[in-house]
Amino acid sequence: MNNYTYKITAAGRINIIGEHIDYCGGKVFPAALSLCNTVYVRPNGTNRINLSWTTLPGNVSLDLDNFESYKNETHAKFQAGCAYLWNQAGHKVLGCDMLMDCTVPFGSGLSSSAAIEVSTIAALAAVAGERPDKKEIALTAQKAEREYAGVNCGIMDQYASANGKKNHALILDCKSVTHEYVPFELGDYRLVIINCNKPHNLVESKYNERRKETEKALEILQKHCEISCLADLAVEEFKRRKHLLNGKVADRAEHVVNECRRVTLAAEAMKRGDMLTLGRLLNESHKSLKELYEVTGKELDALAEAAQSHPSCIGSRMTGAGFGGCTISLVHKDGVEHFKKTVSEKYKNAVGYDCKIYDAEIADGITVTKL
Ligand code: GLA
């Protein structure tokens, strides 16, 4: 790209396991993808940020003195929210031109919005000559998602988008907001990412509703035991306390507590190369998200079931918020092509339209290149 000063990228992500527990203080196990948002940026000496996209028509010009008025802009709200909050946090925000090129499919559950937010902040920092901490970028991006996009999200997506590392997954402790890298090694298995292509709707409101239910569970349990978040509760202790909770609230909490345990087991399994255990945990996670957390829906269930029934597949689950989006599957390398073909056919027979398979590597989070 001619005439731009920097090329900045931030990644989309998969979550290997640990779903809907980041906002309950749990540990999650995401990895950054080579599908990413790229921002080409140059200072323009004005008090405006001029946005354009390679994949969307039109331009939007943001007034640096008026960032709060863009909340209803379908696409520009992410950049506006990030610039506003980055500035509020005491950072310099300069007028600049930004060209966005996003290869994370929108609405795929692979965190296109986090990739856009994180790369926008990294670009603003580069133009201002700052080299900020990636954790601060992630926390500001999360705030933008909450305050501008209206999703009361956890920290997982923005953190993975910023801190991901090529060929590594992260064990992210969402209570302390710290991480550890684990080599992403699957032995003879490959990870296949498939989008169920369900049209997205109401994801935000259902997501926020789940979050409220976990808060309700915490509030009740805190009257009886000393915990600061649901993730503090061990599986055995939860079993003793479950009778204190009712219906759906009990189910949601049960998912959270068990999923936290699965993350620990899954990370240990990956470290020792025990793919069969990892696969089994993926299947258990999907079942729990379907039956207890109720965030899968018939499309993701059809896709996961088609995958799980293939002889080369040792585990499959939805990844991300759910209600649509993608599954990830662990598939023996010799069976990958057959798997893709069979699952695609089975899925189409079950729901009446095609799924989409992505080719992606595990990649770095933020990258900054001076042009
Ligand atoms: C979305 C949110 C994350 C996390 C997942 C579910 O991706 O942005 O914070 O809660 O859903 O695990």
pLDDT of residue 202: 64
pLDDT of residue 230: 98
pLDDT of residue 199 exceeding 80: no
Residue listed under structure tokens 């079931």: 305
Cβ atoms of 50 and 43 closer than 8 Å? no
Is 133 one of the catalytic residues?
Answer: no
Using 50, 70 and 90 to split pLDDT, how confident is the model at 67?
A: confident
Catalytic member of 63, 97, 133, 157: 157
pLDDT in tens, 219-235: 999 999 999 999 999 99
| Smallest CA separation from ligand 1 atom 8, residue | 153
pLDDT of residue 2: 67
Cα 343 from Cα 351, distance rounded (Å): 12
Residue listed under structure tokens 């793919």: 275
Using 50, 70 and 90 to split pLDDT, how confident is the model at 201?
A: low
Cβ atoms of 363 and 33 closer than 8 Å? yes
Q: Which residues line ligand 1 (CB under 6 A)?
A: 15, 19-20, 22-23, 153-154, 156-157, 320-321
Cα 301 from Cα 327, distance rounded (Å): 9
Q: Which residues, in sequence order, are CB contacts of 155 under 8 Å at separation 6+?
A: 22, 138, 139, 142, 172, 174, 177
pLDDT in tens, 4-52: 999 999 999 999 999 999 999 999 999 999 999 999 999 999 999 999 9
Calculate the dihedral angle through the C-alpha atoms of 202, 207, 208, 209, rounding to the nearest 10 degrees.
90
Pocket test of ligand 1: the residue of 27, 139, 156, 229 to mutate, having most ligand atoms within 8 Å of its CB, is 156
**Mean pLDDT of the region 269-275:** 98
pLDDT in tens, 131-180: 999 999 999 999 999 988 888 999 999 999 999 999 999 999 999 999 99
pLDDT of residue 72: 87
